[in-house]
Protein backbone atom coordinates (compact mmCIF):
# COMPACT_ATOMS: atom_id res chain seq x y z
CA UNK A 1 0.00 0.00 0.00
CA UNK A 2 1.30 3.45 -0.90
CA UNK A 3 1.35 6.08 1.87
CA UNK A 4 2.22 9.72 1.39
CA UNK A 5 3.78 11.46 4.37
CA UNK A 6 2.57 15.03 4.70
CA UNK A 7 5.89 16.44 5.85
CA UNK A 8 9.07 18.07 4.64
CA UNK A 9 10.95 17.08 7.82
CA UNK A 10 13.73 14.69 6.78
CA UNK A 11 14.06 13.26 10.29
CA UNK A 12 10.37 12.33 10.39
CA UNK A 13 10.49 10.89 6.87
CA UNK A 14 13.44 8.70 7.85
CA UNK A 15 11.71 7.43 11.01
CA UNK A 16 8.41 6.70 9.24
CA UNK A 17 10.18 4.84 6.45
CA UNK A 18 12.20 2.78 8.95
CA UNK A 19 9.03 1.88 10.85
CA UNK A 20 6.60 1.28 7.96
CA UNK A 21 8.64 -0.01 5.00
CA UNK A 22 9.45 -3.38 6.67
CA UNK A 23 5.69 -3.85 7.16
CA UNK A 24 5.11 -3.75 3.40
CA UNK A 25 4.18 -0.10 2.92
CA UNK A 26 5.57 2.02 0.10
CA UNK A 27 6.29 5.27 1.93
CA UNK A 28 6.73 8.50 -0.03
CA UNK A 29 7.51 11.91 1.39
CA UNK A 30 5.29 14.67 0.06
CA UNK A 31 8.17 15.95 -2.07
CA UNK A 32 8.72 12.44 -3.51
CA UNK A 33 5.01 12.52 -4.41
CA UNK A 34 5.52 15.86 -6.19
CA UNK A 35 3.66 17.93 -3.61
CA UNK A 36 5.28 21.22 -2.65
CA UNK A 37 3.26 22.87 0.11
CA UNK A 38 3.80 24.21 3.61
CA UNK A 39 0.80 24.07 5.92
CA UNK A 40 0.22 26.64 8.65
CA UNK A 41 -0.09 24.76 11.92
CA UNK A 42 -2.92 26.76 13.42
CA UNK A 43 -4.46 23.97 15.50
CA UNK A 44 -4.72 24.14 19.28
CA UNK A 45 -3.37 20.64 19.88
CA UNK A 46 -1.25 17.96 18.21
CA UNK A 47 -4.26 16.19 16.67
CA UNK A 48 -5.67 19.33 15.03
CA UNK A 49 -2.29 20.14 13.47
CA UNK A 50 -1.86 16.59 12.16
CA UNK A 51 -5.33 16.73 10.56
CA UNK A 52 -4.60 20.12 8.94
CA UNK A 53 -1.41 18.78 7.34
CA UNK A 54 -2.97 15.50 6.19
CA UNK A 55 -6.01 17.22 4.66
CA UNK A 56 -3.85 19.67 2.72
CA UNK A 57 -1.98 16.80 1.02
CA UNK A 58 -5.11 14.66 0.64
CA UNK A 59 -6.90 17.50 -1.16
CA UNK A 60 -4.13 17.41 -3.78
CA UNK A 61 -3.52 13.66 -4.13
CA UNK A 62 -6.68 11.78 -2.91
CA UNK A 63 -4.48 8.90 -1.71
CA UNK A 64 -3.65 7.40 1.67
CA UNK A 65 -1.97 10.24 3.58
CA UNK A 66 -0.28 10.25 6.95
CA UNK A 67 0.66 13.39 8.85
CA UNK A 68 1.92 13.77 12.34
CA UNK A 69 2.38 16.56 14.77
CA UNK A 70 4.70 15.92 17.61
CA UNK A 71 6.56 17.73 20.28
CA UNK A 72 7.99 17.85 23.73
CA UNK A 73 6.02 18.63 26.88
CA UNK A 74 8.10 19.60 29.91
CA UNK A 75 6.05 19.49 33.11
CA UNK A 76 8.10 22.12 34.98
CA UNK A 77 7.55 24.50 32.03
CA UNK A 78 3.74 24.08 32.05
CA UNK A 79 4.02 21.50 29.23
CA UNK A 80 5.93 23.88 26.97
CA UNK A 81 7.14 23.87 24.25
CA UNK A 82 4.21 21.57 23.28
CA UNK A 83 2.76 22.26 19.83
CA UNK A 84 5.38 24.98 19.39
CA UNK A 85 8.32 22.57 19.74
CA UNK A 86 9.66 23.13 16.21
CA UNK A 87 9.61 26.90 16.59
CA UNK A 88 10.02 27.34 20.35
CA UNK A 89 10.56 30.98 21.26
CA UNK A 90 11.52 31.74 17.66
CA UNK A 91 14.83 29.90 17.95
CA UNK A 92 16.14 28.60 14.63
CA UNK A 93 18.13 25.47 15.48
CA UNK A 94 17.49 22.38 17.58
CA UNK A 95 20.66 23.12 19.55
CA UNK A 96 19.39 26.62 20.41
CA UNK A 97 16.03 25.20 21.53
CA UNK A 98 17.73 22.50 23.61
CA UNK A 99 19.97 25.09 25.29
CA UNK A 100 16.97 27.31 26.03
CA UNK A 101 15.11 24.49 27.78
CA UNK A 102 18.21 23.54 29.78
CA UNK A 103 18.58 27.19 30.77
CA UNK A 104 14.91 27.42 31.79
CA UNK A 105 15.32 24.30 33.94
CA UNK A 106 18.56 25.45 35.56
CA UNK A 107 18.27 24.75 39.29
CA UNK A 108 15.26 22.44 38.83
CA UNK A 109 15.67 19.22 40.79
CA UNK A 110 15.73 15.90 38.97
CA UNK A 111 12.29 14.70 40.12
CA UNK A 112 10.68 17.86 38.64
CA UNK A 113 12.35 17.48 35.22
CA UNK A 114 9.71 15.03 33.96
CA UNK A 115 8.74 15.33 30.33
CA UNK A 116 7.19 13.43 27.48
CA UNK A 117 7.32 13.34 23.75
CA UNK A 118 3.84 13.32 22.19
CA UNK A 119 2.98 12.27 18.66
CA UNK A 120 -0.47 12.52 17.07
CA UNK A 121 -0.85 10.84 13.70
CA UNK A 122 -3.66 11.48 11.26
CA UNK A 123 -4.40 8.90 8.58
CA UNK A 124 -6.71 9.87 5.77
CA UNK A 125 -7.72 6.91 3.65
CA UNK A 126 -8.16 7.22 -0.11
CA UNK A 127 -11.95 7.45 0.47
CA UNK A 128 -11.49 10.52 2.71
CA UNK A 129 -12.06 8.79 6.06
CA UNK A 130 -10.07 10.55 8.82
CA UNK A 131 -8.52 8.67 11.75
CA UNK A 132 -6.20 9.93 14.50
CA UNK A 133 -4.03 8.12 17.05
CA UNK A 134 -1.63 9.28 19.76
CA UNK A 135 1.57 7.90 21.21
CA UNK A 136 3.79 9.14 24.01
CA UNK A 137 7.20 8.45 25.46
CA UNK A 138 7.74 9.38 29.10
CA UNK A 139 11.13 10.49 30.37
CA UNK A 140 12.92 13.49 31.80
CA UNK A 141 15.12 16.34 30.69
CA UNK A 142 18.82 15.85 31.31
CA UNK A 143 21.40 18.50 32.17
CA UNK A 144 23.31 18.65 28.89
CA UNK A 145 23.10 17.44 25.31
CA UNK A 146 24.33 13.86 24.90
CA UNK A 147 24.49 11.67 21.81
CA UNK A 148 24.59 12.22 18.07
CA UNK A 149 21.71 10.06 16.81
CA UNK A 150 18.18 11.32 16.31
CA UNK A 151 17.16 14.95 15.92
CA UNK A 152 15.38 17.79 17.68
CA UNK A 153 15.16 17.38 21.44
CA UNK A 154 16.57 13.81 21.43
CA UNK A 155 19.95 14.89 22.92
CA UNK A 156 18.34 16.27 26.11
CA UNK A 157 15.48 13.76 26.53
CA UNK A 158 16.49 10.98 28.92
CA UNK A 159 14.76 7.61 28.79
CA UNK A 160 16.09 5.22 31.40
CA UNK A 161 19.75 6.13 31.76
CA UNK A 162 20.43 7.48 28.23
CA UNK A 163 19.15 10.17 25.93
CA UNK A 164 17.26 9.18 22.81
CA UNK A 165 20.23 10.54 20.84
CA UNK A 166 22.45 7.93 22.51
CA UNK A 167 20.27 5.05 21.27
CA UNK A 168 20.41 3.22 17.98
CA UNK A 169 17.51 3.72 15.59
CA UNK A 170 15.79 0.38 16.22
CA UNK A 171 15.96 0.79 20.01
CA UNK A 172 14.67 4.36 19.84
CA UNK A 173 11.86 3.40 17.45
CA UNK A 174 10.73 0.62 19.79
CA UNK A 175 10.02 3.10 22.64
CA UNK A 176 9.54 6.46 20.92
CA UNK A 177 6.35 8.51 20.82
CA UNK A 178 6.25 8.12 17.04
CA UNK A 179 6.87 4.37 17.29
CA UNK A 180 4.07 4.06 19.87
CA UNK A 181 1.70 6.14 17.73
CA UNK A 182 2.51 3.98 14.68
CA UNK A 183 1.70 0.86 16.73
CA UNK A 184 -1.74 2.38 17.35
CA UNK A 185 -2.03 3.36 13.69
CA UNK A 186 -1.35 -0.20 12.55
CA UNK A 187 -4.37 -1.36 14.56
CA UNK A 188 -6.66 0.74 12.34
CA UNK A 189 -5.00 0.39 8.92
Instruction: For residue 153, give every residue at least 6 positions away whose Cβ sits within 8 Å of its Cβ, in sequence order, or none.
Output: 72, 85, 94, 97, 98, 101, 117
d(CA 154, CA 171): 13
Residue 132 — φ and ψ, nearest 5°? -130, 150
Q: Distance between terminal CA atoms of the chain? A: 10
3-state secondary structure of 1: coil
Give the 3-state DSSP-derived string for 58-113, with helices as H, strands as E and coil as C: HHHHCCCEEEEEEEEEEHHHCCEEHHHHHHHHHCCCHHHHHHHHHHHCCCCCHHHC
Confirm whether 106 is a catalytic residue.
Answer: no
Q: Out of 69, 110, 154, 161, which one is annotated catalytic?
A: 69
Instruction: For residue 158, give every residue at least 6 positions away whose Cβ sits within 8 Å of its Cβ, in sequence order, or none.
Output: 139, 140, 141, 142
What residues are annotated to the active site?
69
Amino acid sequence: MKLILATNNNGKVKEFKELLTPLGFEVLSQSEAGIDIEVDETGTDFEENAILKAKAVYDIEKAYVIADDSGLEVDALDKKPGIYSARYEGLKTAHERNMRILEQLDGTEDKRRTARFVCAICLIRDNGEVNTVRGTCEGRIGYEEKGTNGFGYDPIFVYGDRTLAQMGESEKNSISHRGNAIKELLKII
